A and B are shown apart, each in its own frame.
Chain A
Amino acid sequence: MHIAVLAKVVPDYEVPSMDFELSNNRAHERFSRMLGLYDENAIETGIQLKGKTSSSLTIISYGLESDIQFLRKGVAMGADKLVLVKGTSDDAGIIAQNLKQAIDNLEDVDLILAGQQSADMDRGVVPGILAQMLGTAFIPQVGYIDYKNGDWTVSQMTATGQRELEFQGPGVLSITSIPENVPRIPAVRAIFAAKKKPVIKLNGIEQGKMPLQEISVEIPKIESVCEFIDAQDPNEAVKSLLTRLSEERYI
């Protein structure tokens, strides 16, 4: 069995809002780059599944050659090889098309895992588009996965509860964060071994573009406005606070 995990290298997703700034409508280059938050959960899920099903695991990414150094962390976590499709597009259609190319190139992929959403664009649409292109099942927000006699059983974790689903054959699952898939810290031996594992580089294609144009990108401005509420009488202060919050439509 062959499992593929889609991973994206993104700018630091924890940059405090006060520090955040744009450059060419994207996060500034000065921010550290790293594996996406949910992508690490997906890789961890894949590695656990690899252990259970004696599978091989490939990480597939669409991005820059300079991303390889960060993707190696995923390899060090326990993947067997890395496929990088070179490209810079942010278009979900193009990204999905490029990822499909990599999967087709691998020929024998049985299951595709991806993070629930990327940590930079936060769209969560690429896995769905990819599944449609591949003609396979797509299940978002998956927590637990089990494989028995050719059947995949998955638990979809939503804010309101949990849903059990079953399917056969290849599928694309986007993985959410659960306590069981907290990404492992790679062992030092694995970090060094990851440097020697194969990296397949594919040239990207410009197909599948979605019919839309980006007009502008804005980030919230940080404003600090302080208003004191008279707290001589705590009951009155609470009432005043609730009134103000209500007036400003915070509650």
Chain B
Amino acid sequence: MAARIPYWNINYGVIIDLLAIPVILIFLYGLYLQWQGIKKGRLRVIPSITSMFQGIGTFHPAAFFVKGILNAKIYRRPASGIAHGCLFWGMVTLFVGTNLVILNIVFGLPVFNGAFNRWFMAFLLDLAGLLVLIGVVFFLLRRLFMPERLKMPEARKGFVLVGSLLGFVIITGFVMEGARLSAGNLETGAFVGNFFASSIIGKANALQIHTMTWWVHGLLALFFIAYIPFSPLVHIILAPVNCGFADPSPGVKMGVMDFSAFDDEDAEELPALGADKLSDFTRKRFLDFSSCLWCGRCQEVCPAHNTEKPLSPKGVIVTMAQKLNNTEMDETVIDSMSMEAIFNCTTCAACMEVCPVSINQPKTIMRFRQNLVMEQGQIPELMGKAVSSLEQRSHPFFGTPSGAAEWRKDLEVPVFEPGKTQYLLWIGCSITYEQRAWNIGRAMVNILQKANVSFGILEDSRCTGDPAKQMGNEFLFAEIAQQNIEDFSSLGIQKIITMCPHCYNSFTRHYPKLGGEYEVIPHAAFIKMLIDEGKLNLDTKKTGGRITYHDPCYLGRRNGLYEDPRKVISCVGNLVEMSRNKNESFCCGGGGGNYWAEETGTRINQERAREALDTNADTIAVACPFCLLMLTDGVKKYTEDTRAFDIAEIVDKFLKDIPET
């Protein structure tokens, strides 16, 4: 079989090649305009890169490749994931094929010969075209019958036009191929082209059809390429870049704020606290807003949105994208979202976990919250009381009837002694001041004593400041954290066991940036370690029955600790999983300061409690006192039995004395 001849049956075909030059320039100009928009954002402070997540400056090649190019997250939804895969990988293959044709024309690269022609240029490119067409049809149909997450609060426009355009490019490509084959000979491997040639296109008109479709295909393809940066398809470029520039460590990564300029008499400009307008955001956030496809996966998993609250993480990003598109840089944005919505966020990070293009929605929401609290003094009443209490009493549990030492009444708990005690057992505010949580502290003390661990608590009760941070008061957080760091230094504290994931998150994520570096271990992981080391004698007959485990957001999604608590539970009972677990876990509703919120709509804790009870578990295990309090309350809607217990309480129940040898 003779090799394909460039520009066969075409006069002046070089025109298409020449038109490609301005098209590429238009494409690059479109990207330049995107950059001009993103560049208006503030330069972010470059965070230090840990050895675990090495990158080039703030760019992370592994995340760029895995999340941006391989689109690892998109396949969590199989239908749209596969359709997207067909479209993306089909286009990549066609792009390679088109470039091979160019190399054939310019350098005579023999791509149209032998097996390579048969399997790649004919079969694979036909297959790729077909896959792209399948993807296009899927996405066009979905635009026709849009699911709620795409429609609400608003659907992104432009997909139908660009999808149809791509569909026409592919169809004209197939017709052109069919006409070429019909005029000549069928080609082994070109199964779509052969089909068109033998079934649809007659030999009589093949040459004319080929000429016509060659030009139409070429011009449409060029128009499509030029249009990409001005259409939603610009995400082909922006999404991988956004993935690459997103810090791949888990969680929201709020960082800490430096308030020294406020005390500096010579400071020329005081930094904005939080954000209330577009220009307050960094380039990375601008990239977030530009990369967003408005797919709505974030709002679909959002506990606030799922329980009829006004917050939609998609809505927040869409609003910002529209402001960016209209270059409304200095108009206040907070007014276009309700304060209620901004404080609805539980900071559970489910939205950013599910986002296929690595957008950090909670960070944008938290920046608004910081502005409301620190610049405008606005905060919902109950949260305001919690913040005031934290400021006045160093704990947020206003109106508590519990004294600071009540949780350890009649229990001998050692106090941390500098130079003698190994671990500081950090009790935290919820265990100290909420009666239901007292037993967690008591159980943990018993576990540590039985395992002969050298530990001690602080004489006075403390809070890490996390509630203030989550409610947007970074200033109060910094004050509390700095005081704790000072006191820890004077006590020579190096190792800390935390009872609450929020404290763990503060100690590991935020305290090091303020100069407090410690070896911190969550109590669930510490118990697992004690079991592994044989320091706990557990009744392992699994008489604990069916136990389901609720992943606390600050331990799981924010810090990647999923397995240790499950292993502990499996020692004493039969672990059964809820439908949403591990990184897809559903929040208890207490995060982001929402423990002190008057909820509207369905209560999040009741929703999660129902999900837990649906497993027919006898016990709901948690590893966070706030989750315990929320779920204890949530369960009350369905049963009078106490079902939620902390891992420490469960283990304590199954502890046996180690026989003396």
Residues on A lying within 8 angstroms of B by beta carbon are: 12, 14-19, 32, 34, 73, 182-192
Number of A-B residue pairs, CB cutoff 8 Å, is 58
A19-B404, A188-B374 in contact; A12/B393 too (CB < 8 A)? yes
**Residue B398 at the A interface, CB < 8 A?**
yes
Closest Cβ–Cβ distance, residue B453 to chain A (whole Å): 29
Residues of B contacting A16 in the complex (Cβ-Cβ under 8 angstroms):
400-403, 406
Cα A184 to Cα B259 in complex, Å, equals 21
- Do A182 and B393 touch across chains, with their CB atoms under 8 A apart? no
Instruction: From B87-95, B106-114, B277-285, B380-388, give the one contacting chain A.
Output: B380-388
Q: In which size bucket is the chain B interface?
A: 20 to 34
Encoded as 1 (CB less than 8 Å from any A CB) or 0, chain B from 366 to 409 comes to 00000001111111010010011101111000111111111000
Residues of B contacting A190 in the complex (Cβ-Cβ under 8 angstroms):
377
Residues of A contacting B473 in the complex (Cβ-Cβ under 8 angstroms):
185
A185-B387, A188-B262 in contact; A32/B404 too (CB < 8 A)? no
Closest Cβ–Cβ distance, residue A211 to chain B (whole Å): 36
User: Beyond the given A18-B406, A185-B378, A186-B377, could you list 10 further A-B residue pairs with CB under 8 A, ordered by the A residue number?
Assistant: A19-B403, A32-B394, A73-B391, A183-B388, A184-B377, A185-B388, A188-B273, A189-B375, A190-B377, A192-B259
Give A31's nearest chain B residue, CB to CB: B393
Give B261's nearest chain A residue, CB to CB: A192
Residues of A contacting B259 in the complex (Cβ-Cβ under 8 angstroms):
188, 192
Cα A14 to Cα B399 in complex, Å, equals 6
Closest Cβ–Cβ distance, residue B402 to chain A (whole Å): 6
Q: Pick the contact of A189: B270, B378, B401 (CB < 8 A).
A: B270
**Residue B263 at the A interface, CB < 8 A?**
yes
Cα A97 to Cα B400 in complex, Å, equals 36
A-B contact pairs, 12 of them (CB 8 A): A14-B389, A14-B393, A14-B400, A32-B393, A182-B384, A185-B373, A185-B377, A185-B379, A185-B387, A187-B377, A188-B273, A189-B273
Give B393's nearest chain A residue, CB to CB: A32
The A interface, classified by DSSP as helix, strand, loop or mixed, is loop
Q: Which of B475-522 contact A (CB under 8 A)?
A: 475
Residues of A contacting B263 in the complex (Cβ-Cβ under 8 angstroms):
192
- Do B399 and A185 touch across chains, with their CB atoms under 8 A apart? no
Closest Cβ–Cβ distance, residue B461 to chain A (whole Å): 11
Closest Cβ–Cβ distance, residue B371 to chain A (whole Å): 10
- 9 nearest A-B pairs in the assembled complex, by CB-CB distance: A19-B403, A192-B262, A34-B392, A188-B374, A16-B403, A187-B377, A188-B475, A18-B403, A184-B377
Give A192's nearest chain B residue, CB to CB: B262
- Do A14 and B379 touch across chains, with their CB atoms under 8 A apart? no
- Do A191 and B475 touch across chains, with their CB atoms under 8 A apart? yes
Cα A186 to Cα B384 in complex, Å, equals 11
Cα A188 to Cα B376 in complex, Å, equals 9
Residues of B contacting A189 in the complex (Cβ-Cβ under 8 angstroms):
262, 270, 273, 375
Residues of A contacting B403 in the complex (Cβ-Cβ under 8 angstroms):
15-16, 18-19
Closest Cβ–Cβ distance, residue B6 to chain A (whole Å): 68
Cα A190 to Cα B379 in complex, Å, equals 16
- Do A185 and B475 touch across chains, with their CB atoms under 8 A apart? no
Give A183's nearest chain B residue, CB to CB: B388
Cα A198 to Cα B366 in complex, Å, equals 34
Closest Cβ–Cβ distance, residue A123 to chain B (whole Å): 22
Closest Cβ–Cβ distance, residue A250 to chain B (whole Å): 19
Give B273's nearest chain A residue, CB to CB: A188
- Do B398 and A19 touch across chains, with their CB atoms under 8 A apart? no
Cα A186 to Cα B273 in complex, Å, equals 13
Residues of B contacting A183 in the complex (Cβ-Cβ under 8 angstroms):
388
Closest Cβ–Cβ distance, residue A84 to chain B (whole Å): 19
Cα A186 to Cα B375 in complex, Å, equals 8
Residues of B contacting A188 in the complex (Cβ-Cβ under 8 angstroms):
259, 262, 273, 374-375, 475
Residues of B contacting A17 in the complex (Cβ-Cβ under 8 angstroms):
401
Cα A188 to Cα B394 in complex, Å, equals 18
Closest Cβ–Cβ distance, residue A222 to chain B (whole Å): 10
Cα A192 to Cα B475 in complex, Å, equals 11
Q: Which of B608-644 contact A (CB under 8 A)?
A: none
Give A179's nearest chain B residue, CB to CB: B381
Residues of A contacting B378 in the complex (Cβ-Cβ under 8 angstroms):
185
Residues of B contacting A191 in the complex (Cβ-Cβ under 8 angstroms):
475
Closest Cβ–Cβ distance, residue A76 to chain B (whole Å): 9
- Do B384 and A185 touch across chains, with their CB atoms under 8 A apart? yes
Cα A17 to Cα B402 in complex, Å, equals 9
Give B403's nearest chain A residue, CB to CB: A19
A184-B377, A185-B384 in contact; A12/B392 too (CB < 8 A)? yes
Cα A7 to Cα B27 in complex, Å, equals 66
Q: Pick the contact of A187: B374, B394, B398, B399 (CB < 8 A).
A: B374
Cα A182 to Cα B387 in complex, Å, equals 13
Closest Cβ–Cβ distance, residue A34 to chain B (whole Å): 4
Residues of B contacting A186 in the complex (Cβ-Cβ under 8 angstroms):
377
- Do B398 and A14 touch across chains, with their CB atoms under 8 A apart? yes
